[in-house]
Structure 1
């Protein structure tokens, strides 16, 4: 059952990738495959990072309606853009594009998250308090961003708007390879901890009885989740509800909490779905809309449905 399910998800991804690479292609195939292949890699890496981080985050918190975005990562990312535009101006912000901006955004997000996790989990393993603190922090960051936005010259605020949504039209090749390496390393480490995640999914008390030090394991996994979210967000921008959508689909199809199945299944579904949607929007709809807007909208509806289902239960 597990192998057939993963094979089907892999087939879905390969079909979506083939469609993305070949649909509407004309001219020099060498140039086309190289250009589209780089974008395909970016879509795949970001989708896998979002899927894996969401599954792990839900396991740690014991709640399937939460995503790492609930901790305010998207709000922090947008606030960073606003502060940089306010400080350096539009031209200075444009000059920071590339490795300097990528490194700065990643370090700030990891630093804030590590500080938050360290303070909240040092004395207590109350993950519910941690999530609540993250929600309040997200509200605070959005309020600060609204304040900073009022101080920015309106003609330069377009730089903030352009970087406030996930974008796949222009990907920096150097940053892509860095993100790919980090994502593969972290995802591989998490997959190697699949059995420990299975135990953590049983709850804090059960995990401790079975020999897993819950607090230390939660801290380490939160750092890995933060790293995945930080590098993917710094590369293309924030994606809020996509992870929730993919997680819901993966759990429905797998019917199990075994992470050796859930993690690769969610990654393949996420990559196939994002690549397929991007292919349709680029080749069929001629970029009349943004794929992330639709995916986030569907993800938001899934979030509401999960809330209603949980309330009825």
Structure 2
């Protein structure tokens, strides 16, 4: 990494630390200070974990797909997660799911997501990655199919069981499931470290299938491995706050624009830091300044959708 990249990452890290301190200590009075700090600390760690997961997962997925318009959510990863939730509730019942240990349930979800993602999206992107319109169309069709199957299961469920699935279908940064934070943070850290270790191979893979294979890269193996990392990261973020469709698109665009580099040693940490700054800073604005008069997830989806349309129009113009 060059000097400019080091300075950029250092600046982003300092900005994140400043925003985190402001979010942690603003408005703390004399009483119950320790309890408030402990509560805010857990939520801050969860927000950073979610943000880093989404940012790194999007950059990895765009590298695999060789396109900056695609995101895991657009291609149906979140819909796949909701389908798994629906299948578990339909087969085990809400009582069975509630009685299932949270960590074991989460690990089962991550494992199933990784295998299904490698099977479905791996074959698609490895063989059709250069045919972008077909890739987008197939990903959208898979997402619609997953949502339709989930919708069918929820229609035949008991209303109480339906409420359990519905609660997992909407993103909320205000109510973060911190019970999964230890295992979620551990999985996120491990996945990001593996992605950084694979950065040289990811740089080669970004050149395209034919150049990468000619340089000795096992392209299909790298595609499957990268998609499994994406599945783990998406599972963590969705389990903690729910599905977020377009946030990763904004983060990846900012990471590419600020770093001005194709090196994943700069892109991946930049995406994680930028996402964390946006989530923590946005949550601070909505909680402490606006008094929760609006919802951060709604604003993110609106801005991300506009940015997605901009990228499509820009691509067509070119």
The TM-score with structure 1 as length reference comes to 0.89
Measure, in 2, the Cα distance between the counterparts of 1:215 and 1:155.
43
Equivalent residue for 1:55, pick from 37, 40, 59: 59
In the alignment, is the contact (CA less than 8 A) between 1:110 and 1:230 conserved in 2? no
Measure, in 2, the Cα distance between the counterparts of 1:235 and 1:241.
17
1:41 to 2:45 alignment? yes
Q: Secondary structure at the match of 1:71?
A: coil
> Partner residue of 1:9?
12
Measure, in 2, the Cα distance between the counterparts of 1:134 and 1:153.
30
1:209 to 2:214 alignment? yes
Equivalent residue for 2:297, pick from 270, 289, 292: 292
Measure, in 2, the Cα distance between the counterparts of 1:86 and 1:203.
42
CA gap of 1:117–1:303, structure 2 versus 1, over 3 A, is closer
**C-alpha displacement at 1:236, in angstroms?**
2.5
How many residue pairs get aligned? The number is 311
Equivalent residue for 1:65, pick from 54, 62, 69: 69
Measure, in 2, the Cα distance between the counterparts of 1:152 and 1:163.
15
**RMSD of equivalent CA atoms:** 2.3
The TM-score with structure 2 as length reference comes to 0.88
Structure 1 segment 71-220 matched on structure 2, within 5 A: 71-87=75-91, 89-96=93-100, 98-117=102-121, 120=124, 125-127=127-129, 128=131, 132-154=137-159, 157-220=162-225
CA gap of 1:157–1:219, structure 2 versus 1, over 3 A, is closer
Q: Secondary structure at the match of 1:69?
A: coil
CA gap of 1:252–1:120, structure 2 versus 1, over 3 A, is closer
**C-alpha displacement at 1:162, in angstroms?**
2.1
In the alignment, is the contact (CA less than 8 A) between 2:20 and 2:44 conserved in 1? yes
Q: Secondary structure at the match of 1:68?
A: coil
In the alignment, is the contact (CA less than 8 A) between 1:49 and 1:267 conserved in 2? yes
Q: Secondary structure at the match of 2:227?
A: helix
Measure, in 2, the Cα distance between the counterparts of 1:177 and 1:87.
27
CA gap of 1:12–1:233, structure 2 versus 1, over 3 A, is same
Measure, in 1, the Cα distance between the counterparts of 2:96 and 2:216.
52
CA gap of 1:117–1:155, structure 2 versus 1, over 3 A, is closer
In the alignment, is the contact (CA less than 8 A) between 2:47 and 2:173 conserved in 1? yes
Q: Deviations over 1:244-294 (max 9, x none)?
A: 110011111112211111111111000010011112222233333331121
**C-alpha displacement at 1:133, in angstroms?**
3.9
1:20 to 2:20 alignment? no
Q: Deviations over 1:228-255 (max 9, x none)?
A: 2122222322111111110011111112
Query: More displaced, 270-279 or 22-31?
Result: 22-31
User: What residue ranges of structure 1 are gaps of 5+ in the alignment?
Assistant: none
**C-alpha displacement at 1:117, in angstroms?**
4.5
